[in-house]
Amino acid sequence: MKHELEYIGKKIVDKNEELAQKLETNVDEDYTKSLNDAGMPFSDRTEFRAELLYYLGEALYIDAEEITPKVEDWAKRVSDFTIQYGVRLSDALRAVSFYRRVIWEAFTRELEQRQFAAITMLDVSKRIDPLLDKVCAIIGNMYEQRNDHLMKIAYSALEELSVPVVPISEGIAAVPIVGEIDTHRAQLITEIVLKEGTNLELEYVILDISGVPMIDTMVSDQIFQILKALSLIGVEAIITGIRPEVAQTIGNLGLDYKGVTTRANLQQALTQLGFKRIENSN
């Protein structure tokens, strides 16, 4: 049996490029069309396929410990390649199954002529299938990492949009905060406001917290940390939008807002900073 495995393996190695060409005809037309539409060069994908077939052939007569790292490296490289061309995960995984088919078809005639025992092909599967399963696992993991990366980028962009710094006049900007404030978001608010405070050369920042649903000890502490950070770069903060029920909660919790400039709403804060309505004389 060992001799038969070596025979099959070396035949796969010798004909790996030919088998790679046949693999192109084995995959369904929709899949091939999607690759062509994405601009994936035929020569590149055929080269990748021939390389894996070469390793699968070697696996039949070379120790698995030597072949497995090569297959793992191939799977990572082909994942980057397919991701680059926008190939869907389902298509990338489905394509792996065609390697089994093209190998079986290559030896069907010899199997029918009983040139080697049927159990030999079973042993071929036992050696090749785990490698193809590993390829599928690595491709799935690489796609998942890519999706996680894109999600983090999108989430980060959304987070930044959730903390708008709105310039009102020279040296003055308003920051409307909507939603809950936790440690992570407080840090984000601080980073964005400090960056924009420096870029816009702000003297005053109006933090409007009318959209913050609840203020407890933790949230209050986060707000104070933001104010402290602003003061370190010479920016004076004014808090607006403390709703009556929130003010009552602050009082019940004994939270100390002494020394913090607060106003009922944005209009009052702007009035304090010298803004006034100019009547049209016409």
CATH of domain 1-159: 1.10.490
Task: Identify the pLDDT of residue 172.
Answer: 93
Pairing verdict, β 166-169 and 172-178: antiparallel
Q: What residue spans in the chain does CATH classification 1.10.490 cover?
A: 1-159
Full-model pTM: 0.64
The 10s digit of each residue's pLDDT in 159-206 is 666 688 899 999 999 999 888 888 888 888 888 889 999 999 999 999
Q: Where in the chain is the domain with CATH 3.30.750.24?
A: 166-273
CA angle 191, 197, 200 (to 5 degrees): 135
> Is 80 exceeded by the pLDDT of residue 8?
yes
Pick the CATH number of 166-273 from 3.30.750.24, 3.30.70.100, 3.40.50.1980, 3.30.360.10: 3.30.750.24
